[in-house]
């Protein structure tokens, strides 16, 4: 099914809002996308006609099975591109997020698969004691003149705690995300979502940042990001 970029953006945002809020309203979508509520209603009508969302006026907005599958596909593209730009190439967070939003609509399955293979390659090399990711960051800092992978969990168990308080090399399941809106957005961009399994594998000299492994990828979380992630032992 061919969808416009705008339609894909709506599906993705409904999916992400459902992870954060549980119940999604038209006002939530309007606020997140920066558009007027009437525009949201018009878009939802089109998506409903294509059997991608369930929506009744003044009611909650939910994704159909087909809509959920498409939304997850769009988000997976966004997440993979963001990780590549942010953590492999070292692009600034805001730029990486903005570029990923545009590129997610055009990237081919083969390119996406190649990016994921590269992430796996880096993780494999790191298991052998070779931190190519850090070497690339160091190389880029020296200057360019040098030649050269869901379940939403809304209730906490008694063992729930901030990831920042977790132990190294212990598997945790992400229960929920907190923090300010910008922090949540960055976490979602990185693929840190409820239901995923995460492990702390390294810490900065003063305890932060945290180097974590999630879905086979190595990510770095700042203190405010690590404190916003609630986890329990897996």
**Does the pLDDT at position 149 exceed 50?**
no
Kindly report the average pLDDT of the chain as a whole number: 87
Task: Compare 207 and 111 and report the one with higher pLDDT.
Answer: 111
**Does the pLDDT at position 204 exceed 70?**
yes
List the one residue out of 94, 92, 93, 90 whose CA is nearest residue 134: 90
- The answer to whether 14 touches 60, Cβ cutoff 8 Å, is no
Rounded distance, CA 33 to CA 35, Å? 6
Among left, alpha and beta (phi > 0; psi -120 to 50; other), residue 191 is left
**Does the pLDDT at position 130 exceed 50?**
yes
Task: Compare 1 and 126 and report the one with higher pLDDT.
Answer: 126
Rounded distance, CA 155 to CA 176, Å? 8
- Predicted confidence at residue 150, as pLDDT, reads 39
Q: Which CA distances in Å does 107 have to 62, 78, 226, 230?
A: 26, 9, 30, 32
209-218: which pairs have CB atoms within 8 A and are 24 or more residues apart?
210/163, 210/164, 212/163, 213/123, 214/190, 215/149, 215/191, 216/119, 216/120, 216/123, 216/149, 217/83, 217/87, 217/119, 217/123, 217/149, 217/191, 218/87, 218/122, 218/123, 218/126, 218/133
Q: What is the mean pLDDT of residues 107-119?
A: 92
Q: For residue 232, what are the β-bridge partners?
A: 173
Count of beta carbons in the 10 Å neighbourhood of residue 127: 8
- Predicted confidence at residue 156, as pLDDT, reads 41
**Does the pLDDT at position 224 exceed 70?**
yes
Percent of all residues in the chain with a pLDDT value above 70, rounded to a whole number = 92
Q: What is the mean pLDDT of residues 142-148?
A: 53
Token digits of residue 207: 């305890």
Strands in 210-214's sheet, in edge-to-edge order, are 161-162, 229-233, 171-177, 197-203, 210-214, 217-221
Rounded distance, CA 116 to CA 110, Å? 10
Q: What are phi and psi of 106, to 5 degrees?
A: -120, -20
Domains parsed from the chain with CATH numbers: 5-70 (1.10.10.10), 79-142 (1.10.60), 161-233 (2.30.30.90)
**Does the pLDDT at position 86 exceed 90?**
no
Reported as a pLDDT band with limits 50, 70 and 90, residue 152 is very low
- The DSSP H or E segment spanning 56 is none
Task: Compare 4 and 147 and report the one with higher pLDDT.
Answer: 4
**Does the pLDDT at position 19 exceed 60?**
yes
Stated pTM of the model: 0.66
Rounded distance, CA 58 to CA 1, Å? 28
Among left, alpha and beta (phi > 0; psi -120 to 50; other), residue 81 is alpha
């Amino acid at each position: 099914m061919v969808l416009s970029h705008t339609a894909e953006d709506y599906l993705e945002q409904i999916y992400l809002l459902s992870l954060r809020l549980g119940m999604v309203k038209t006002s939530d979508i309007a606020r997140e996308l920066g558009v007027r509520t009437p525009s949201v209603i018009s878009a939802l009508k089109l998506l409903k006609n294509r059997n991608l969302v369930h929506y009744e006026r003044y009611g909650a907005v939910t994704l159909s099975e087909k809509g959920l599958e498409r939304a997850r596909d769009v988000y997976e593209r966004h997440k993979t591109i963001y990780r590549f730009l942010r953590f492999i190439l070292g692009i600034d967070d805001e730029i990486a997020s903005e570029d990923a939003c545009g590129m997610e609509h055009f990237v081919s399955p083969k390119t996406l698969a190649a990016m994921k293979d590269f992430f796996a390659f880096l993780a494999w090399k790191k298991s052998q004691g070779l931190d190519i990711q850090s070497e690339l960051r160091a190389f880029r800092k020296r200057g360019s003149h040098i030649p050269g992978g869901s379940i939403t969990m809304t209730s906490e168990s008694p063992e729930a705690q901030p990831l920042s308080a977790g132990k190294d090399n212990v598997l945790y399941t992400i229960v929920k995300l907190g923090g300010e809106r910008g922090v949540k957005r960055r976490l979602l961009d990185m693929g840190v979502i409820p239901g995923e399994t995460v492990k702390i594998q390294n810490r900065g000299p003063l305890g932060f940042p945290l180097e974590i492994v999630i879905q086979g990828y190595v990510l770095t979380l700042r203190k405010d990001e690590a404190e916003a992630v609630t986890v329990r032992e897996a």
